[in-house]
Homo-oligomer: A and B are copies of this chain.
Amino acid sequence: MLTEVRVFAPATVANMICGFDILGFALEEPGDEVIMRKTSSPGVIITKITGDDGRLPLDADKNTVSACVQFLLQHLGLQHDVGVEIELHKHMPIGSGLGSSAASTVAGLYAINKMLGDPLSKEELLPFCVEGERLACGHGHADNVAPSLFGGITLIRGNDPLDLIPLPVPQELIASVVFPQVDVPTRDARQLIKEKVFLKDAVTQWGNIAGLVAGLFKEDYDLIARSMQDVLIEPTRAILIPQFYEMKKIALENGALSFGISGSGPSVVAITKDRDKARHITDLIQAHLSVSEIESFGYVSAVNVEGPKVLN
């Protein structure tokens, strides 16, 4: 067993605008970091959390990262033999819609697996990551943990059993991500969504989803742009995001292929095929928000095709 490992796991954009609950992709940045150290006595403890504004529990039974690490050790029958302490460094805001809890969980599970000499494959780690999401968000969707763990663009065809399909990543796709610092908890954002939808809107949505999948395979950026439109969820969730339609206008007028909500928000994402354009759009949106006295974080990132990685 290793004595120490430091792991980064990426933030993710769930839904990929039109694919509610079935699509997600990983970002190069931001992401969370876990430092894990072997301890002399068995058990899992959290020694430090940074970047969470004191919002996450240090109690190892209540913190989802340590809880998932404990589950994994139990699964391997090692809970009485192995002891680790965890430092969790959150480099992105909680409740941002960027898969913050997923990135921490994936980093923790990837770290303990690495410490133990990789007894489990990524495929075998995934159910533990999903369980972490259930603990953190109240629902066990894989649309953040799967892309964070595997990297790339992931289709979750079905949840029972979990059926993950990696999709091709067009080379030039660059995401411009802005997190306006307003609080939209995932639970609330989900509750807003109506239980029933018009079939005609669902048909529009699945036409777009099919178009996006085809566009990714064909590397057809026009088709990707036409397809990344959300007629079902965005109209409801956008209500919770100040300046949403103004930000959308800025993005589309400045060359974004598409613009929408990242996960359950309030982060927003513009998809471009040009890093300079993405940088420009991020800057313009952040400047616009600051006029309305909304602080924000901005990121420019290609799709991360690697997933979690060990840092030196």
Which chain B residues lie closer than 8 Å to A22 at the CB level?
203, 206-207, 210
Which chain B residues lie closer than 8 Å to A165 at the CB level?
210-211, 214, 223
Q: Are A214 and B158 in contact (CB under 8 A)?
A: no
Tell me the A206-225 residues at the B interface (CB within 8 Å). Answer: 206-214, 217, 223
Q: Are B209 and A206 in contact (CB under 8 A)?
A: yes
- Give the oligomeric copy count: 2
**Partner pick for A206 among B199, B202, B223, CB 8 A cutoff:** B202
Q: Which of A43-51, A188-196, A262-270 is near enough to bind chain B?
A: A188-196
Is the CB of A155 closer than 8 A to any CB of chain B?
yes
> Closest Cβ of chain B: how far from A167's Cβ, in Å?
6
Is the CB of A108 closer than 8 A to any CB of chain B?
no
Is the CB of A249 closer than 8 A to any CB of chain B?
no
Give a binary string over A16-51; 1 marks a CB under 8 Å from any B CB, 0 the rest.
000111110000000000000000000000000000
Q: Given A196-B196, A211-B163 in contact, is the A206-B158 Cβ separation under 8 Å?
A: no
Q: Given A22-B206, A196-B197 in contact, is the A214-B211 Cβ separation under 8 Å?
A: no
Q: Are B202 and A197 in contact (CB under 8 A)?
A: yes
The CB with the most chain B CB atoms within 10 A, among A21, A210, A213, A223, is that of: A210
- Could you say which interface size class chain A belongs to? 35 or more
Is the CB of A156 closer than 8 A to any CB of chain B?
yes
Is the CB of A74 closer than 8 A to any CB of chain B?
no
Q: Are A20 and B210 in contact (CB under 8 A)?
A: no
Tell me the A85-122 residues at the B interface (CB within 8 Å). Answer: none
Tell me the A127-157 residues at the B interface (CB within 8 Å). Answer: 155-157
Inter-chain CA distance A21–B198, complex, in Å, is: 14
Q: Are B211 and A210 in contact (CB under 8 A)?
A: no
Inter-chain CA distance A227–B193, complex, in Å, is: 25
Q: Are B202 and A193 in contact (CB under 8 A)?
A: no
Inter-chain CA distance A217–B194, complex, in Å, is: 33
Which chain B residues lie closer than 8 Å to A204 at the CB level?
158
> Closest Cβ of chain B: how far from A227's Cβ, in Å?
6
> Closest Cβ of chain B: how far from A285's Cβ, in Å?
27
Q: Which B residue sits closest to A211, measured CB to CB?
A: B157
Q: Are B210 and A157 in contact (CB under 8 A)?
A: yes
Is the CB of A66 closer than 8 A to any CB of chain B?
no
Closest 3 CB pairs of A and B: A157-B211, A206-B206, A217-B217
A-B contact pairs, 10 of them (CB 8 A): A21-B207, A155-B214, A157-B210, A158-B208, A165-B211, A165-B214, A165-B223, A195-B200, A202-B205, A214-B217
